[in-house]
Structure 1
Amino acid sequence: MQDLKPVQKDAYSLILEAIDTGLYRPGDRLVESELAERFGVSRTPIREALQRLETQSMLTRDGRSLIVASLDHNQLAELYAVRTELEALAARLAARHASDEEIRVLRDMAVADRRMLGDAQALSRANRRFHKQIHLASHNRFLVQQLDLVHRSMALLATTSFAAEGRDEVALDEHDAIVAAIAARDETAAAETLRRHISKAFETRLKLDAGELQPRGH
């Protein structure tokens, strides 16, 4: 029997993950030689990955340098408008198609995430996993692909809405309501509950950006 080896991530995935986890943030300069050394790969795949990320507007030019792109107010609003509708559709389809096992996984995630209250970065990562599970439970590969693109762009946001004081517990209550609607097979409630959840996250982010809300610990 052939041994199963762990899948090696390519340079593109490694850089994208580094942006997604905040290792590189909007405005940070990406240097080919430094990336090659950090990830232990040659400069050629790094160069190709950087070109691909620039084409996808994840990176932008600053003179001769490539930096991690950032989103202005209008781009942020456009991103959330698309995300809201796609996420709502995913919840609607999950209420229709999710298996009992998938619903139990969602419920377990919602419970486990409460152990991370107060840790904005951990909750942000857990939140991505939770939403990804809903996407998969929609059982629509084309919707999942589009949501992957949206969430890739979400990596360009410098802060997480979970950083706002009090947002984490409210957001997890919203997750509970989303799971309950999906478990009840109530497509309309699932869509509307998730739509309100994303709308509230957007509102919180706008308040953070405007200085109306302070990040936790400030």
Structure 2
Amino acid sequence: MSELKSQKDAYTLILEAIDTGVYRPGDRLVESELAERFGVSRTPIREALQRLETQSLLARDGRSLIVASLDHNQLSELYAVRAELEGLAARLAARHASVEEVSVLRDMVEEDRNLLDDPAALSRANRRFHKQIHLASHNRYLVQQLDLVHRTMALMATTSLAAEGRGVDALAEHEAIVNAIEARDEDRADEALKTHISKAFTTRLKLDSGRNSRLS
């Protein structure tokens, strides 16, 4: 295995561990422990940690690196940027998506109805759905920016889809987005996706408020 391949694997493995909640905001990441867990030498682990720190996914706590957390202002800024970029992706998808890409989106919505009792699985499916819209925009630079936004979303300790009733509502919103894309209605696709993100953000704020009140 080449050093470049090892570095990529180490980065991906750590990022996936953060994304799936193995490591949560505030958790300390130790080179030796990560190397042992993932079966990778310490050099690519060190380089992966440096890359994640540069991307603000990790933060310094003294001499240690910890998984970063988002405060209220950072969360607001992230969702504001996400709404604009996702809206643009939906707009471009309405313009450029092939018939096959629209069909895949519609199939995703139907298949995801079977996951309503499993918030974690629904969250993974939600990411796949949004990624498919990004790809359907046929704009590589937009896809790159959205990848960065979605990496930062991994810093959220819980999914908004865990809130009661949110899964059903989210799938209805997904269906509205697909309908607009299929109709080639760029304005409606843009607005439908921005509305979807706004409702997800509202749910996120309610979840965080409830968690903070229990801790106080």
Do both share a fold (TM > 0.5)?
A: yes
Q: Is it true that 1:181 corresponds to 2:188 in the alignment?
A: no
Partner of 2:152: 153
Letter in 2 for 1:131: H
Question: SS where residue 100 of structure 2 aligns?
Answer: helix
Q: In 2, Cα distance between the equivalents of 1:140 and 1:170?
A: 28
Q: How far does residue 23 in structure 1 lie from its aligned partner after superposition? A: 1.3
Partner of 2:100: 101
Q: How many residues matched?
A: 207
Q: How far does residue 204 in structure 1 lie from its aligned partner after superposition? A: 0.4
Q: How far does residue 207 in structure 1 lie from its aligned partner after superposition? A: 0.7
Structure 1 runs (4+) deviating above 3 angstroms are: none
Q: In 2, Cα distance between the equivalents of 1:132 and 1:178?
A: 13
Q: Percent identity?
A: 80
Partner of 2:78: 79
Letter in 1 for 2:195: R
Partner of 1:60: 59
Partner of 1:127: 126
Letter in 2 for 1:69: A
CA RMSD of aligned residues (A): 1.4
Letter in 2 for 1:182: I
Which of the pair is proportionally richer in helix?
2
Paired residues for 1:1-218 under 5 Å: 10-211=9-210
Of the structure 1 ranges 175-184 and 19-28, higher mean CA displacement relative to structure 2 is found in 19-28
Segments of structure 2 that go 5 or more residues without pairing to the other structure are none
After superposition, the C-alpha distances for 1:126-164 in whole angstroms (9 at most, x for unaligned) are 000000000000000000000001001000011110011
Q: In 1, Cα distance between the equivalents of 2:138 and 2:21?
A: 30
Q: In 2, Cα distance between the equivalents of 1:21 and 1:152?
A: 12
Letter in 2 for 1:133: Q
Q: In 1, Cα distance between the equivalents of 2:37 and 2:182?
A: 44
Q: How far does residue 91 in structure 1 lie from its aligned partner after superposition? A: 0.2
Q: In 1, Cα distance between the equivalents of 2:183 and 2:21?
A: 36
Q: In 2, Cα distance between the equivalents of 1:194 and 1:99?
A: 19
Q: In 1, Cα distance between the equivalents of 2:76 and 2:14?
A: 25
Q: How far does residue 102 in structure 1 lie from its aligned partner after superposition? A: 0.3
Of the structure 1 ranges 76-85 and 27-36, higher mean CA displacement relative to structure 2 is found in 27-36
Question: SS where residue 184 of structure 2 aligns?
Answer: coil
After superposition, the C-alpha distances for 1:173-209 in whole angstroms (9 at most, x for unaligned) are 1001100110111111100000000000000000111
TM-score normalised per structure 1: 0.92
Q: How far does residue 95 in structure 1 lie from its aligned partner after superposition? A: 0.3
Letter in 1 for 2:110: V
Question: SS where residue 10 of structure 1 aligns?
Answer: helix
TM-score normalised per structure 2: 0.93
